Amino acid sequence: MSTVDVREITAWLAGPVPEAVPALREWERSPAAAPVIALGARFEAVRIADAVVHAAVSSTAHATLAWFLAEYLQGAVIRDSGLYYALVPTRTARDWQAPASRCLGRGAGLAIPHPTCRRGPRTHWVVPPEHVGDVCDPVRVADLARVGQERLLARPAPRRWPAPHAPAVLDGGAAT
């Protein structure tokens, strides 16, 4: 990604002037910063728990997740504190009904990392934006959430009872 591309993408993420000024200053001070930016004007974001995404992709490996999400969602994706945020077009939240996810739209804010922040324990891009307007296909994001939820629900829960010392009644037998 060229310096010009990074500047253009950064300006798009930060939003229109004058609202963009604080975010741009924060990134200028520290590229690891993730200022909270208002959603709804340029893009919205679908929030999905990491367990749902990992189940859908059948992996927890960063490289596998980054590859799959880039290929399938075809847009920018953020990871922050056990959650994934797929950037989607504006007005997606209005009709969002996918399971195991929530679309954040106008009135919500999201911590947005600098376009060059691609790894780390803090907020970072799993799939960084490659150009201005690089948002995911909402239908594919909904499918990812649905598949992840279906796979999680299909997994048998770990069996905890009856414990070896529990009375036989808990296992369907008669009490002794």
pLDDT at 119: 85
Q: How far apart are CA 83 and CA 96, in angstroms?
A: 18
In tens, the pLDDT along 55-111 reads: 999 999 999 999 999 999 999 999 999 999 999 999 999 999 999 999 999 999 999
pLDDT value of position 162: 54
Half-sphere exposure of 61 (CA within 13 A, CB side): 6
pLDDT digits (tens, 9 = 90+) for 124-156: 999 999 999 999 999 999 999 999 999 999 977
Could you tell me the pTM of the whole model? 0.86
Interacting residues of 56 by C-beta distance below 8 A, sequence separation 6+: 144, 145, 147, 148, 151
Spatial contact of 9 and 115, defined as CB atoms under 8 Å apart? yes
- How would residue 175 be classed by pLDDT, with cut points 50, 70 and 90? very low
